[in-house]
Amino acid sequence: MTSLDELEQRAKKLLDPVHYDYFAGGAGDEIALADNEQAFRRLALLPRVLRNTSARSIATPLLGDPGSMPMFVSPTAFHRLAHPEGELATARGVAAAGLILTASMAATVAIVEVTAAAREIDRDARVWFQLYLQPQPEVTEEIVRRAERAGCTALMVTVDSPAHGRRTRDDRHAFTDLPAGLYAENMRGLPGVTESEVRQIGMSSDFTWDHLDRLREVTRLPLVLKGILHPEDARLAIDHGADAILVSNHGGRQLDIAPAALDALPAVVAAVAGRIPVFVDGGVRRGSDVALALALGATAVGVGRPVLWGLTVGGDKGVTGVLDTLRSDFEHTLTLCGIAELSELNAGLVVARGAAARC
């Protein structure tokens, strides 16, 4: 596997075109979607030379959970559209790579099965759970309890979705429902429906920071707020008990005029001022992207769509292959940049592409 772009093209040939567009598409004119990748291409890293990098370690604990590098898998929905085993294969592939999987609330496999699959590969595998706050507090609490019972070690709370994004490709295909036999299994048998029924995931524009306070009272799990772009929201997140922030524009799938996540990262890092970890996702396609994000202050980087392409093409081994490719490229980038310790990645090494000669 030499290029994740080539892998995507292989996956595209295998997927139903409707399902490929669901995974690959973004909101509106897909400006934010494209800008996530382009933001990395606008920057360069100034390499240092004649520095011994032979003893470097890239292992990075996140919220107390071990990780083989400063990267995790961001939540994406409906993996059984990509592979018959869905999130079970994803969990095994991520565990084999020694990374943390964030399982989506909209998974097509229940969270208890996802964590069990990961721990078949590595009994110490860590799984986080992505949560949309639900309009009914009792539904939110039951979903949280299921994640706790399944052994999840953190909750990633998506806060950028008061309504569904308007996704042109999905509208074109009239894609609103999963194929027969596939369901968002984490929504099955919740309060208000029978044991066999599956609730719809609810969105609401009524949510405020008070709802996060209530969630903080419901669980002791670390809370990662996903979808922070404004520095003031980063400060409020800390005030309301967040344990980490994920700078994200939802993969370009919500607000099409939102900035690229990488462009928003430095201001959020400055606002947080080291008080809690700051993660970023969106547009990561090479290990050099991981290095750039860390240099701009990220603690770790999330990867999303490439995992789906690996899952489509090769199941759990394809997932592991994607993550191993990113790890190898990241380490190669560090070597060529003369980085002996991850702490040496800093904003002083980042320049606008074409501006290095003026440094």
| Helices H / strands E in the chain, number of each | 12, 10
Is 251 inside any structural domain? Answer: yes
Supply the pLDDT for residue 52: 92
Is 196 inside any structural domain? Answer: yes
3-class secondary-structure state, position 306: helix
Cα–Cα distance, 201 to 142 (Å, whole number) = 13
Is 358 inside any structural domain? Answer: no
Residue 78 has pLDDT above 60, yes or no: yes
- Rounded average pLDDT over 195-210: 95
By C-alpha distance, which of 240, 242, 248 is closest to 222?
A: 242
Let me know: does 252 contact 30? Beta carbons within 8 Å. Answer: yes
Is 334 inside any structural domain? Answer: yes
> DSSP character for 179?
P
Say which residues have a Cβ less than 8 Å from residue 251's Cβ, sequence separation at least 6: 26, 33, 36, 74, 281, 282, 304, 305
- Rounded average pLDDT over 235-263: 98
Question: What angle (nearest 5°) sits at the alpha carbon of residue 130, between those of residues 164 and 259?
Answer: 55
**Residue-averaged pLDDT of the chain:** 96
State which residues form the domain around 326.
4-353
Tokens of 150: 């399944």
HSE toward the beta carbon, residue 201, CA cutoff 13 A: 22
Give percent of the chain with pLDDT exceeding 70.
98
Cα–Cα distance, 78 to 94 (Å, whole number) = 16
Supply the pLDDT for residue 38: 98
Is 109 inside any structural domain? Answer: yes
Distance from first CA to last CA of the chain, Å, rounded? 36
Supply the pLDDT for residue 2: 74
* Beta-bridge mates of residue 316: none
Is 293 inside any structural domain? Answer: yes
- Rounded average pLDDT over 115-143: 97
The enclosing domain of 345 has a CATH number of 3.20.20.70
Express each pLDDT in 181-193 by its tens digit. Answer: 999 999 999 999 9
Residue 162 has pLDDT above 70, yes or no: yes
Tokens of 213: 């306070």
Residue 18 has pLDDT above 90, yes or no: yes
Residue 333 has pLDDT above 60, yes or no: yes
What angle do helix axes 87-96 and 111-121 make, rounded to 10 degrees?
Answer: 30
Supply the pLDDT for residue 354: 79
- In the chain, the number of structural domains is 1
Express each pLDDT in 261-311 by its tens digit. Answer: 999 999 999 999 999 999 999 999 999 999 999 999 999 999 999 999 999
Residues identified as active-site? 250
Supply the pLDDT for residue 356: 55
Is 245 inside any structural domain? Answer: yes
Residue 358 has pLDDT above 70, yes or no: no
* Residues 116/106/157/113 CA torsion (nearest 10 deg): -10
Is 84 inside any structural domain? Answer: yes
Residue 211 has pLDDT above 90, yes or no: yes
For β-strands 350-352 and 300-303, DSSP reports them as: unpaired
Say which residues have a Cβ less than 8 Å from residue 31's Cβ, sequence separation at least 6: 252, 256, 257
